[in-house]
Every structure is written in C-alpha cells, then in structure tokens.
Structure 1
Amino acid sequence: MYRQVLDPVSDSLGLSAIFAALPLVILFLLLGVLRITAWVSALIALVASVVIATVVYPMPVGQAVLSATLGAAFGFFPILWIVINAIWIYNMTVDTGHFDVLRRSFSRVSDDQRIQAIIIAFCFGALMEALGGFGTPVAISSVMLLALGFTPLRAAALALVANTAPVAFGALAVPITTLSTVTGLPVHDLGSMVGRQTPILAVIVPVVLVGIVDGWRGVRQTWLPAVVCGLAFAVAQYVTSNYISVPLTDIIASLFSAGAVVVLLRVWHPVTSGLVVPAVRPVAGGSVDNPDPAFQKRVAHPDSRKEELRSYAPYLIIIVIFIVAQIHPILHALDTVTRSFNWPGLHIENAAGKPSTVSVFKFNWLTAAGSLMFISGLVTAPVLGVSPIRALRAYGRTLRQLVWAIITVMAVLALAYVMNASGQTATLGNWMAGAGGAFAILSPILGWLGVAVTGSDTSSNSLFGALQVAAGTKAGLNTTLMAAANSSGGVLGKMISPQNLAIAAGAVGLVGKEGDIFRRVFGWSLAFLAGMCLLVYLQSTPVLDWMVP
C-alpha cells in the first residue's frame, strides 16, 4: 500500500511543486519548442514522471509501474477505442466514395470554407461532444474538414479550437455529474453556474474559427454567421442548462446553432473574395489554390438524392445509436455487463489515508462511446454497400494509420496516472490552493492544468473538484463558483492535451507533426484561459456576483 505524500521535498509544497511540474514542462518543451515527435516526447516525460515518483516521492517502483500500465490501459479503452472506430467509419466512407458525395453536398449548403468551419467544427463537433465526448468530435470533425478541402494542419487546428465551449457539458453532462459526485454539490447548481460561463466563450469561438481560416479579412466578411452561430449556441446553452436539462444542454445548443446558421444562409451570402469552392481531393494533398475540375463539375450536377442520403447515413446512424443508448431502460440493460475492479497489485491511499479511486478500472464494454461507435460502424457497412471482408480490411488499415497515435495516447495517459497516483498532480493543486482570495483567478488554471494532463474534463473534475471546494471554503469564496470554474477552465486545456493532439494528428495524417499543431493552438488556449480567469474573478466580486446562482 502506497500512501500519497504531497510535500516530500523538505515538507514544502512550493519546493515539491517544482519537481511535480517537471514532467509536464519536459513534455511541452519537447513537443512545442524542440519539435520532437509526440510519441517520443510522451515516453520521455513518462520516464521522468516515474523517476520523480520513486526518487522525490516515496512511491515504490512496482506501484509506479503498475499505475503507468493502468493509465496505458485507460488510454486504449475507452479513449482510443472511440478514435479507432470513428476513423474506421470515415475510411469506409472514403473507400465507397460517399465522403466525396458528402463534401459536394456541404458545398451546396455553402461553398465558403469559413461557413463550413463554423457548421462542422463548431456545431457538428459540439453534437459529437454531447453524444460521445473524449476524442470523438476532434476525430470526426477534423476528417470531415479534411475531406472538404482544408489543409491537414488547418483542419486539426479548427477541430481542436472548436472543441472548447461544448466540453463542460460533453457526453450527456458526465463532467458535471462527476463534479457533483466528488464535491457533494447539486448537479443543477453546477450546471447552471457552468451555463453562465461557457456561453460567453461560445460567442467568441466561431469568430476565432473564421479568423483561423481566413484571417482578419474572413472576420470582416463573415462575422455575421459567426456571431449568429455563437449567440444561438450561447443562448441555448444558458437556457437549457439553467431551466430545461443539464444532460441535454449541448445537444439542444448544437442543433439550435446549426439551424440558425442554415436559416441565415437562405437570406444572406458572404462576400467571397476568392476563399470559396474548396474543390480538392481528400487526403491527396490538394489546396484551395489547386481546384479539382471534376469536383466543381459534380457540384454543378448534384448527386442523386439516394446517394446524398447514404453519404449522411453514417452520422445519422451514430446520432441515433448514441441517443437510443441513453434511454434509461436500454442504458440499464447495457450497463449490466459493466465491471469495475481495482487494478491488480496497485494499492493507493490518498494523503488523508483513504483508498484512492485512481486504481479503479471501469470496463463498460457495451456502454462505452467507442463500443457504440463500433456498433454504428457495423450498421454503416451494409448501408454503404461494404462487404464484411472489405470492412475488416478497412479496420486493419485504420489500425496501421493510427499506430503512432495509439502509442502517444497510451504514453500520455500512463504519464497522467503516474502523476495522479504518486501525488504529483495533487501537490500542484494544493500549492495553487494556498493563494487565498486570489484563488478565484487561479481556479480555472487548475482545471486547465488537469485537462492538459489527462485530456478529459471529467478526469480533471474528478481530480480537482473537491480541492476547489476546500480551497474556496478556506478563502471565503463561493464553492459552486469554484467547482464550476474547474470545469469551465478545464475545457480550454483540451486543445493542448497531448492526447487530443495525437488524435487530431492521426485523423488528418500528420502523425509526428503534433508539435506543429500544438504551436498553432497554444496561443488560443492561453488567450481563452486568461479571459475565463478574469470572468471567474469578477464573478467572485460584487461586479458580477449576481451571475452566481
């Protein structure tokens, strides 16, 4: 049995925090500054975390290694299990030509890449976040953007930046319900508070997406649909989370915002200035400057209604299966085979001497989002006319395509689990919690750090939720606000999480270029985080305390 010690260096949290932060500093320096391949960076950082856990912290080597194996297992299931099956479905649509049909159909809705980025990366990505969570929206929306003619780097950056505002309510509000469990605060209060923070972010993100696609010129020319989309999502997210249903928040917000943009496009059209008709071949490396005449011809002469319906079928199937799986009797039946168990040989107590939940592995092999995605693929194959042998070959090709992304994600989650199990992450959190009243500014940063390490807002809430409440109580701050700030700040760490970077890189064929993607989105992550810190601080003062329920 290993009992966590949070101040192993001279009984000082501050000195211990310096060592605790080293694995993360090493990871981001290797990835973002030295441009070393993500899987190599992750493995080096993992070794560093094990060394610190066993040399600086009093963690036995065997316990450190076992916690790393648990993290690697969690990295594969449920996280990579989602990504593998999502990319498998995409590969089948490419094989049959239905992704070409889909992109031609989208081009008729709007042939402007700036509008397509809003609809796919933000609206459709938010729907995927609401239904599946984890890496689902990044994996699916990035390949959709790629097929529509976006360059791989831009497609990945758009998918990651868009995956912010919806994350706090992702996967039917699992992050919020988890936060409620660890803090003891009501789900409705937490959902209402988050619903008064992330909608402000939602107003800004679509405008940023337009800027990523076409710079300031794009913002000037297409600010209207970007603002309409953001406002529609923000209003729906606020109203749903506060007055209707916390679990349904992102489903309603994503559909409402997409509908608002489509309605607007019936009466308004953007100034083009040449950034239209993204007629390029998916994956083949085309660009906006290299139009595909055959594609343009097919846009002018549409596919049959039947083929268009089949091209949308995989995503309709995904939505239907995910929604059906959430119906309570069905969910209960599927969940009967779920098994939770302590990882063999791993015995951890937290600093208070209570058994840690870090060592528990949940094998929900039927209710997991990846399993539902796999079932969606099995249904999709015959709809697209894909034979079992052809589907199996596509699966094998998908695994080969993602092999380095698989290694990266498993290494990053192994790193996260070693840091969590040894107490390194808790050291950082407790050190930040000693800031007193200024903790209102640091609270979102703590959530951001948790998601940057684990890649999951749910995991960050589980890790730091109770700490946020304890720090808030000690500093005289509203506990609901502090807990919600962990979730709202956490969403901004999603785009720089090595796990999500690996997923995006694997999806668009940029394996080994995760550092390039990281540099593309890191500035946005910090800018959004600064805004969230300011908002939470003002909500803790008389200036905006009326926003706290």
Structure 2
Amino acid sequence: MAAYQQIFDPVGGSLAWSALCAALPLVTLFVLLGGLRWKAWKASLIALAAALGVAVFAYSMPVGQAALAAGEGAAFGLFPIIWIVLNALWIYKLTEITGWDAVLRRAFGSLSDDQRIQAVIIAFCFGALLEALAGFGTPVAVSSVMLIAVGLRPMKAAAVSLVANTAPVAFGAIAVPVTTLAKITGLDAADLGAMVGRQTPVLALFVPLLLIFMVDGRRGVRQVWPLALVVGFSFAAATFVSSNYLSYEIADIVAAFAGALAVVAMLRVWQPRETLAASPVPVTVGGAAAGAQSDAVQRRRQTGEGSALLAFTPYLIVVVLFAVATLGPMKTWLEEHSGWKFAWPGLDVVNGSGKPLASATFNFNLFNAGGTILLIVGVLTAAVYGIRAGHAARAYGNTVRQFRWTIVTVMAVLALAYVMNMSGQTVTLGLFLAQAGTAFALLAPVVGWLGVAVTGSDTSSNSLFGLLQLTAAQKTGMSPYLLAAANTTGGVVGKMISLQNLAIATAVVGLEGREGELFRRVLGWGLGLLVAICLLVYLQSTPVLDWMVVR
C-alpha cells in the first residue's frame, strides 16, 4: 500500500485555502450537532466522512491509508477511553443494585443538603479526584449520575459536571497531559508543570461560582459566594503550591482534598441564608437492577442508612489502587510489562521531514491501563458487597447495552481526529493561526482548545500541537514554556464541548440523542473561560505579567 507524506498547504500551495478545507469536518460536526440538532452518533459519522473526503481529495492521502488512520482512531476510542468509562460506570452500577449509592448520597447530604453546595462537593472536588486518578470522561460519567441522585435534573447535572471538569484536566490521570507535552517538546517536565500551575488556578478561582450560578442563578451566587470563593481559592492555591514546589503529578489530588477540606471547614462556621434542597432521585445506570433486591438493599435505598465507610469503599479502593499503580516500584514494573506496543498494520504515514508519526504506533497497555485498574476495583467492590458473579456480569452487560450508541460516537470521533491528524488537516489549522506573529500568544490557547474539542483529550492535543507551539515560540522569541503551557490550559476548556464528553454525559443521564442541546448549554461557558485564558496568556507574554513565566 502506498505510503503518505504529510503536506500542510496542499490546496494551491496556500495555507489559507488549505485551512478552509481542513475546517470543513469540524464545521460539519458543529453545525449538525449544535445547529440541526442531529444525534451525536449520526453527526460524528457524517463528520468522519467529511474528514476522509478532505484527506483523500484535498490532501491526496491514499484511500487505504486514510481508512487505516480511521481504524486506529476507532480502536483508540474503544481502548483505552471506552474501556475506562464502562468500568467506571459498572462500579457505580454495583453500588446502585446494592443500595449503597443511597448511603453515599446521604453521606454527602450530611455535609449539606443544599444542592448548590453538593454540586461543588461532588462535581468540583470529588470530580477533580476522579480526574486525577482516571480522567478520560470518568469524572463526568460518575458525577453526573451522583448529581441526579441528589436532586438535579438530568440536563443540568450533565452541564454542571462538564463545566466542573475543566481546571483539573491539565493535571489529570497523574498529569499525563503535562508529561506527554514535555516528551513531545523536549522541555523540562517540572518547569512545564510549574508554568501550567500558574495558569489553571485562575480557572479554579471562578469555576465554583459558575457551578452555583448554573444550579440556582443569581440568587445562588448572592447566597453561596463565600463558600465558592473559599473553595476556589483553596483549590487554586493547592494547585499552584503542588505544581511549583511539591510535584506536578499529584497537583489534582492535593487540590481535590484541599477543596473538600475547605468545604468542611467553611460549613462549620458559616451556612447560607436559605437552603436549596430537593428530594433525592432514584437513579438507574445501565437498565434495571440485576437480581432481586433483599430487605437490606431495599432498606438502604429507602432510608439511606448504612456505613458511610462501606458506601465510600469503591472510591477508596480506586484511590489506593491508582496510587499503587502510578507511584513507586509498581509503576516501573507495570510500565515494563504493560502490554503490547506495535505499529498499526499497514499504516505508513510520515511527516514533512520524512519521519514516521508517533501516533501510528498503537499502545495496548492493557495491564496498567486505567480501565483495567477500574475493572479490578469493580471485582473487589462486588466481593465487598457480596454480589454474585452472575448478577455483576448482568450489570456489566446492561451498562454496555445502554451505552452502545455512545460507543459508536466515541469511536467515530476518535477516527475523525486520527484522520485529521495524520492527513495534516489539524496541523494546517494550527499553522494558519500561528501566522499571527507575536499576537499568537493571544491565540495559543485556541490551538489547544481546538485540539481537545476534536480529540476529547488534553494529552492528544498536546501530542498534536506541542511542537507547533514550540516552533511558534522560537520564531517569535516568546517563552516556549509559556506557549506550551497555553496549549494545555486552553485545552482544558475545550473538554466540555468535545463530542466524546458530550456523548458520555448524555448517555449516563439517560438523554442520548440530545447532545446538541447539552452542547448549546455549555458552549457559552466554555467560550467565556477560553477568552479569559487567552487574555491571561497574552498578558503573561507582555511586561504586565511576564514575572509569572518560568525562566
């Protein structure tokens, strides 16, 4: 099969015209999803077809190579992303069929029965911990269901979870986005993490206020702003201190606990004037509960009475296993025996310099994948809760059946991303924006935002645009740490509009097919935060805030 060498200005040698063609798949996706309100799986398949058409007819990519690129992207969507999400939701399903989810809701309610405060605790603090450990949509999946359980309407719960899943993303999955960016650019990982830690805390300062506004509007902000500011400041300060003076790899873990402790401490000395309370809502994930409910299960579900420690057990196991797997000698052993890494069969794509693309190598790291660890957590959870193997297996099957269209959507979106990446379409868009010269500091976060909006992953966006940011820094004389970090920080606000996350959020709350409505709900918040990050990065490139830049 014929090989393919990337070219970034294939349309008449013009970068502008090439960028216009390269934008067609994204325009198609957003118009179908947000404008015409198509279901996500249909919109993603049509956008994939558009990307293949642009790759073959505009970029002269051989049909076979384009198809293979799409195949590898679809496989990446299945593993590790769907592998993580399904196992995370299976764990929640196990708590649901045993009634321990009701006990967990009661435990959260013991801190406060105010929905606005619960949104901050669950979506922001607990979601940040899940992002730190697993990432790849897990926080959105779990926190959306838990927010419905404490009384939020499904669409609102999904939107709140998406907006909350911003600030922690840069240091998610034990800071894989930062580590990957350091490898791609050759920059020092610790300094790069420190620079990211001087940008993302700005988001953390405002996100709790946004969540409260989303739950209860202006009244909520007027009544709960003291707690929002304390939590936001605690989270931001912990992120900065950890990334600059401790370890950037544990920044999210430190920040999540700091935010949660701030909530507990604040509620001991302060309470809102009014309480926005609602009756807990029964939540079913993946269909009907497996097996007959015992008297003990029914009692837990009706009253919420039970051991809070047992209710938190699955998540405590998650923390312990991820800590063991990502730190110390076990991390080294798992990296050496993680699974299989191989060149995708038949895929032969090289960059403009004739070097093979790193993305053409598929990493089937089965043994240290987040999804595998979550699978083990699920097995241990079933054992702790005394769930029979047959009931646990049926719960897993129900979850897979419920998310079948989400699986199609995620695989199609990642296939789209790989076709755009390997044909050169995404780099064309990035290079076109980089023509802004010194004003590129204002646009650098937009490049990262674009990468995450397409791929759904800050890690993938950094892999894609890391070298572009480095090249732009060298051409303009700006700090490479500033622009590289801007790619990561801009990317985190693209997470909420990525079709991958939209599909996961709507699926877990039972609103499959309404991804377009959710997209419109969060788009304004995402664009507003993106503008704020662009202004921050631009000011950091000028004498106004250049003292914040890593030297």
Asked if these proteins are the same fold (TM beyond 0.5), I'd say yes
Partner of 2:347, secondary structure, is coil
Alpha-carbon distance, 1:333 to partner: 2.5
Conservation of the 8 A alpha-carbon contact between 1:150 and 1:278: no
**Residues of 1 paired with 2:303 and 2:529: CA distance?**
43
Change in CA separation of 1:232 and 1:145 when aligned onto 2, cut-off 3 Å = same
Write the mapping of 1:89-168 to structure 2, written as runs, cut at 5 A: 89-168=91-170
1:387 counterpart letter in structure 2? R
1:289 aligned partner: none
Task: Quote the Cα distance in structure 2 between the aligned partners of 1:13 and 1:104.
Answer: 57
Structure 2 portions without partners, runs of 5+: 286-298
Note the C-alpha offset of 1:332.
2.4
SS of 2:7 mapped into structure 1: coil
Provide, for residues 408-467 of structure 1, a one-character-per-residue CA deviation record: whole Å limited to 9, x for no partner.
000000000000010000110111111101100010000000000111111111110111
1:542 is aligned to 2:521:
no
Deviation of 1:328 (Å): 2.6
What amino acid is the match of 1:81? W
* Partner residue, 2:312: 312
Matched with 1:293 is: none
Indicate conservation of the 8 Å contact 1:175/1:461, yes or no: yes
**Where do 4+ consecutive residues of structure 1 move more than 4 Å?**
297-302
Name the SS of the counterpart of 2:341 in structure 1.
strand
Q: How does 1:25-424 map to 2 (within 5 A)?
A: 25-272=27-274, 275-283=276-284, 303-304=305-306, 306=307, 308-335=308-335, 336-424=337-425
Deviation of residue 522 (structure 1)?
Answer: 0.5
CA apart distance, 1:283: 4.8
Contact 2:149-2:280 at 8 Å conserved across structures: no
In 2, Cα distance between the equivalents of 1:314 and 1:145? Answer: 18
CA distance in 2, matches of 1:399, 1:281: 20
Deviation at 1:270?
1.2
Q: Shift in Å at residue 358 of structure 1?
A: 2.0
Secondary structure at the aligned position of 1:75 is classed as helix
CA distance in 1: counterparts of 2:281 and 2:346, whole angstroms: 53
Q: Is the 8 A contact 1:70 1:361 kept in 2?
A: yes
Which letter does structure 2 place at the counterpart of 1:517? L
Report the residue type matching 2:334 in the other structure.
L
State the Cα distance separating 1:301 from its structure 2 match.
7.0
Whether contact under 8 Å (1:149, 1:281) holds in the other structure is: no
CA contact (8 A) 1:447 1:460 kept: yes
1:236 is displaced (CA, Å) by 0.4
CA distance in 2, matches of 1:116, 1:511: 25
- What secondary structure sits across from 2:248 in the alignment? coil
TM-score with structure 1 length normalisation?
A: 0.95
Letter paired with 1:344: P
| Superposition deviation, residue 263 in structure 1 | 1.2
Aligned residues of 1:107 and 1:299 also touching (Cα < 8 A) = no
Q: Secondary structure at the match of 1:247?
A: helix
Equivalent pair of 1:202/1:234 in contact (CA under 8 Å): yes
Measure, in 1, the Cα distance between the counterparts of 2:34 and 2:513: 12
Report the Cα distance in structure 1 between the residues aligned to 2:135 and 2:357, rounded to whole angstroms: 25
> Is the 1:148–1:282 Cα contact (8 Å) retained in structure 2?
no
Match of 1:469? 470
* TM-score, normalised with respect to structure 2: 0.95
- Aligned position for 1:287: none
Name the residue aligned to 1:437: 438
Amino acid at match of 1:537: Y
Post-superposition CA distance 1:467-501 (Å, at most 9, x none): 10101111121111011000000101000000111
Runs of 5+ consecutive residues of structure 1 not aligned to the other structure: 285-296
Structure 1 residue identity aligned to 2:518: I
Residue identity opposite 2:127 in structure 1:
G
Structure 1 residues 545, 140: closer, same or farther in 2, change over 3 A?
same
Give SS of 1:248's match.
helix
Q: Which range moves more in the overlay, 396-405 or 352-361?
A: 352-361
Amino acid at match of 2:118: Q
> What percent of counterpart residues are identical?
59
Q: Compute the displacement of 1:281 (Å).
A: 2.4
Q: Shift of the alpha carbon at 1:279?
A: 2.9
Residue 98 (structure 1) shift: 1.0
